[in-house]
Amino acid sequence: MISSSFYKLAAIVNQQMHLDPLTGDVYIFFNRRATHIKLLQWQQDGFAIYYKRLEKGTFEIPKPGGVQPSLTSTQLMLILQGIQIDKVQYRRRYFRQSADH
């Protein structure tokens, strides 16, 4: 999967994950050894791919939290930096709920 092209990755998102790859969401793909990561995103005029290969070590593959696991942008940055997500302790902060609630 890691050697897949733009359209093959988009087809995986559409056909296997049953999601729309044109939403602008970022879809994450790892190789089996977790030494390579690809991020696929639709950006209004075409697909963009971010690709990273580690010289040493592995990426943390998040444990699925549901049918379609999702990450925050902060969690993704931690994975890319090699920080273990489940070991991170967040300090208490004010959080304002949206007007809908």
What are the tens digits of pLDDT across the range 31-90? 999 999 999 999 999 999 999 999 999 999 887 766 667 888 988 999 999 988 888 888
**Number of structural domains found in the chain:** 1
Q: Is position 100 within any domain?
A: no
Looking at residue 18, what is its pLDDT?
94
Looking at residue 65, what is its pLDDT?
67
Helices (H), 1-101: 6-11, 73-81
**What is the domain extent for residue 10?**
6-87
Looking at residue 71, what is its pLDDT?
87
Looking at residue 10, what is its pLDDT?
96
93 or 48, greater pLDDT: 48
The angle formed by the CA atoms of residues 48, 5 and 66, to the nearest 5 degrees, is 75
Report the chain's terminal Cα–Cα distance, integer Å: 40
Asked if 69 and 60 count as a contact pair (C-beta separation under 8 A), the reply is: no
Q: Is position 96 within any domain?
A: no
Exposure of 9 by Cβ count < 10 A (0-12 exposed, 13-18 middle, 19+ buried)? buried
